[in-house]
Amino acid sequence: MFFNFIKNLNPLIKTNKIKVRDLGILNYMDCFEIQKQIQNEIIQIKLNNRNKSIPKNTPNYLLFVEHNHVYTLGNSGDNKNLLFDENKLKQKGIQFYKTNRGGDITYHGPGQLVCYPILDMENFYTDIHRYLRDLEGIVIETLNFFGIKASGNTNETGVWLDVGNINERKICAMGIKVSRWVTMHGLALNINTDLSYFDGIIPCGITNKGVTSISNELNKKINVNDVKKVFIKKFSEKFNAITEF
């Protein structure tokens, strides 16, 4: 009786701890399977908690990875936004996958900060729109640290430079999927990215805007780990979280 009372009073024990994991260089689909496995494990804990008097904490993860050259098409994307044919993809060593995140087509490759937060949003808040805006805010604050003024775009997801001007350009792409309030996928921030690989796609299906990178804006290469450290700090502050390595 007492445990049932506790269950009804406080059905979820929240945690603001986030485990940070660096997966190194990994093919896209291998990383996708890791994401899916972690997401499923968290969802299973949530389902099991329904039948427990004292529920178990659900973990949160911040995964970092560097992908080999790949184009990924979101579940709302258009195949026509892939400009290279199969032979061209093979010639340039680029993989192509359709995936279950939101958004259209984008590129991942060396020199990007790719981050996949796998969070139980019930540990923080349950608002997908706010979550996307918070991710944008974290990237904007990170870029500001390196002297780059960036902003969101009311018409498009992601982080941009010179919004509203003729030379408006995207520096960070985003796409997520949420199941039972558990997130997967995330963002790709161009740091030392070879921007020529964007020639094979219409990035995010947007024809009239360009792409850029931190090194392109600052005219010098930047240590990816330096950007990662700032990003983790800003992420922790935004989510009032404790990061564990």
Instruction: Please state, in angstroms and rounded to a whole number, the distance separating the CA atoms of residues 103 and 188.
Output: 13
Residue with tokens 């660096």: 22
The token pair that represents 61 in the structure block: 């993860």
Burial class (CB in 10 A: 0-12, 13-18, 19+), 165: exposed
Give yes or no: 115 in active site.
no
Instruction: Please state, in angstroms and rounded to a whole number, the distance separating the CA atoms of residues 50 and 48.
Output: 5
Which candidate, 56, 63, 46, 68, places its Cα nearest to that of 179?
46
Instruction: Please state, in angstroms and rounded to a whole number, the distance separating the CA atoms of residues 244 and 20.
Output: 6
Among 31, 115, 172, 204, which one carries the catalytic annotation?
204
Cβ partners under 8 Å of residue 98, min gap 6:
72, 73, 75, 77
Which candidate, 108, 105, 107, places its Cα nearest to that of 205?
105
Q: Tell me the catalytic residues.
A: 204
